[in-house]
Amino acid sequence: MRMVDIITKKRDGGILTREEIHYFIEGYTRGAIPDYQASALCMAILFKGMNNDEISILTDEMCHSGATMDLSKIDGVKVDKHSTGGVGDKTSLVLCPMVASCGVKVAKMSGRGLGHTGGTLDKLESIPGLSVTKSDEEFIRQVNDIGIAIIGQTSELDPADKKLYALRDVTGTVEAIPLIASSIMSKKLASGTDTILLDVTFGEGAFMKDIDSARELARVMVDIGNGLGKNTKAVLSSMEEPLGYAVGNSLEIKEVVNALHGKGPKDLMELCYKCGSIILMQAGITHTEKEGRLMLSESIRSGKAYMTFENMVKAQGGDIAFLENPDKFRESGFIINLISSSEGYVSKINALTIGEVSMKLGAGREKLDDMIDMAAGILLHKKVGDYVKKGDTLLEIHTSRSNYKELIKELEGAFELVSKPVPTHEVVWEVVE
């Protein structure tokens, strides 16, 4: 078998066999197939797609490209939650402590930033000292002890995805349903969880630009998960504007801390309550959404959700002084206000532009080995639906790079103002089960 034949077969719209998919995944993981051939195949898949059988085989081959985890030593129902990515998407960091404090065991493996979207691991690592690396035993012990752990994939787990994820990030091949579905589901299946909740984002700031493709991606993943005996559901959530106000690693951690203290932005909290109430039902803790919402709001009110987050940060070596006093986080060299030169109601804040600019300010990676500036990013002052007066601040730019001036035009273009009031965006549109 030759890799070039597999690439040309897919380029011409052919259907790959298990043997061919196995040859690719096994060879790429081992280092026998070079990045340039793997990226050519990813590009061919992006253009030509894959049928459901090919996606299931790809998922299975990726899942078994390394070790799989046995979580049977964790008592209770193990839940994992995964988002397909967004701008300002810190949902997992608020939601997981909320549900863990209600008795669900959260054994979560997260990813890093991909394209213009941020990654949960990068956000967590902005807390000084925090490590996202744990051995299987340590991971299991932490979940048993405090109910929650959020770590990176170990190098033994799904190594194919680890390599492909990083490659896709820098080769323009993220936005393909077969590649996203297999990337997410192979990790979830390898990590041995019982129950999976997927947050499939759509809109300007998401990889899926419209609800129909989000539904298609959700359907594929939910069917793969349920087909393999994992209780899997998905919500379709809007990513037209950034989620919450903060975009960028430590800026988002500060917003997470506020949210866990009951001062979270409306859109972020609505997504957490919706996802959280589904997870509580999946885990058999509650029977209705209303019951779940009540339990979750009590977890915030009582401080239990915040304490669960703090315990997790402590267990992973993070300095909780930064949570107790978020002013301790290092600030960027430049903090610049973007001022509105007109007035009106905000009808749009282009999440893609905000995500891309945030990356250029240092908050994300443009190349595989780029270092992230944890303090960099964007803090919105306005959301869709807000009224803006001339001279109001639209957002703050946080960066230590002096090239920010070149980005101001792009940021101004991200906002659209209209003269009539506009309704705020719905966050959750549908549940796929």
Which of 60, 158, 161, 267 is flagged as catalytic?
Answer: 161
Q: Which residue is nearest to ligand URA (CB)?
A: 183
Shorter beta-carbon distance to ligand URA: residue 93 or 375? 93
Shorter beta-carbon distance to ligand URA: residue 108 or 382? 108
The nearest distance, CB 176 to ligand URA, in angstroms, is 8
The nearest distance, CB 180 to ligand URA, in angstroms, is 4
Specify whether 82 is catalytic.
yes
The nearest distance, CB 119 to ligand URA, in angstroms, is 9
Shorter beta-carbon distance to ligand URA: residue 177 or 300? 177
Specify whether 187 is catalytic.
yes
Which of 78, 82, 215, 274 is flagged as catalytic?
Answer: 82
Specify whether 11 is catalytic.
no
Q: Rule CB under 6 A: which residues touch ligand URA? A: 84-85, 111, 114, 165, 179-180, 183-184
Specify whether 215 is catalytic.
no
The nearest distance, CB 36 to ligand URA, in angstroms, is 20
The nearest distance, CB 206 to ligand URA, in angstroms, is 10
Shorter beta-carbon distance to ligand URA: residue 182 or 250? 182
The nearest distance, CB 23 to ligand URA, in angstroms, is 21
Which of 168, 215, 233, 360 is flagged as catalytic?
Answer: 168
Shorter beta-carbon distance to ligand URA: residue 42 or 100? 42
Shorter beta-carbon distance to ligand URA: residue 183 or 282? 183
Which of 187, 360, 382, 398 is flagged as catalytic?
Answer: 187
Specify whether 386 is catalytic.
no
Cβ atoms of 187 and 157 closer than 8 Å: yes
Q: Give the active site residues.
A: 82, 161, 168, 183, 187
